[in-house]
Amino acid sequence: MGGAMIIDPFRLYRRHRRLVREAEEEAQFLRRRHGPSALQAARSRLDRPDLTHWGKRVMQRAIRLLEKGA
């Protein structure tokens, strides 16, 4: 019977915070390693076929951070 799935809000919050933290770390790493071409490097890394679903989410978030310049 199509019961509704109960989602733990604390789990969602922790997952969101982890995503934000990993994206910030990735953006910092890309800035240190690639300098002004960090955004281009992030976009090329996003196109890699071996990237997991989580890795894609992290890279998309890192790209948003790099675009903002934060």
Give the domain ranges of the chain.
11-68
Match 């919050």 to its residue by tokens: 13
Identify the helix (H) or strand (E) that includes residue 40.
helix 38-46
Q: What is the Cα–Cα distance from 18 to 35, expressed in whole angstroms?
A: 25
Digits of tens for pLDDT over the chain (70 positions)?
556 777 889 999 999 999 999 999 999 999 999 999 999 999 999 999 999 999 999 999 999 999 998 5
Q: Residue 42's CB: how many other CB atoms inside 10 A? A: 23
Kindly report the pTM of this predicted structure.
0.83
Q: What is the Cα–Cα distance from 59 to 44, expressed in whole angstroms?
A: 10
